[in-house]
Structures are given as structure tokens and as C-alpha cells.
């Protein structure tokens, strides 16, 4: 997962509040991404969607929720 976030280092300046839990065979991942203030809401949403899909492709039984925050 950290490799995935590093690949987006031009768009994402950091992350925090990473929380994970398991319920049965499913994993739940929740984190906050720090992005530049000048990124539009639409751009931030698209970046979050791409990262969620990439993490889910690596961890097939994961449900990923990302919250975008300005830096």
C-alpha cells in the first residue's frame, strides 16, 4: 500500500490516520491523504478513486475509504 502512495507522490504529499481492521475474510482500510490546496475537489476525488482501485487490486478482499485533506 505504501508503494502505491509513493507512486502518487506528485499528487499526494503525505498520509495519516491510517486505520485497518478485519472482519471475517475482509479487510477495511481508512486513511487521510494530504494534497495541495490548489487541487480542485474533482481532481482530489479522481486521485482518491484511482488510489482506492490500486490498493484494492493489490488486496483483493479490502474495502478502502480515503479522505482528502488540504496541506
Q: Where are the domains of the chain?
A: 2-70
- 19 alpha carbon, distance to own chain's centre: 11
Q: How do residues 9-57 score in pLDDT, each as one tens digit?
A: 889 999 999 999 999 999 999 999 999 999 999 999 999 999 999 999 9
Does the pLDDT of residue 68 top 90, yes or no? yes
Residue 4 is predicted with a pLDDT of 85
Residue 6 is predicted with a pLDDT of 86
**Nearest alpha carbon to residue 5 among 17, 20, 15:** 15
Does the pLDDT of residue 61 top 90, yes or no? no
Residue 26 is predicted with a pLDDT of 93
- CATH code given to domain 2-70: 3.30.70.1350
Residue holding cell 487490486? 57
Specify the pTM. Answer: 0.87
Amino acid at each position: 500500500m505504501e508503494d502505491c502512495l509513493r507512486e502518487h507522490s506528485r499528487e499526494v504529499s503525505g498520509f495519516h490516520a491510517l486505520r485497518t481492521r478485519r472482519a471475517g475474510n475482509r479487510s477495511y482500510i481508512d486513511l487521510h491523504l494530504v494534497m495541495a490546496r490548489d487541487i480542485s475537489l474533482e481532481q482530489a476525488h479522481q486521485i482518491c478513486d484511482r488510489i482506492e482501485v490500486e490498493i484494492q487490486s493489490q488486496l483483493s478482499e479490502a474495502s478502502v475509504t480515503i479522505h482528502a485533506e488540504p496541506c
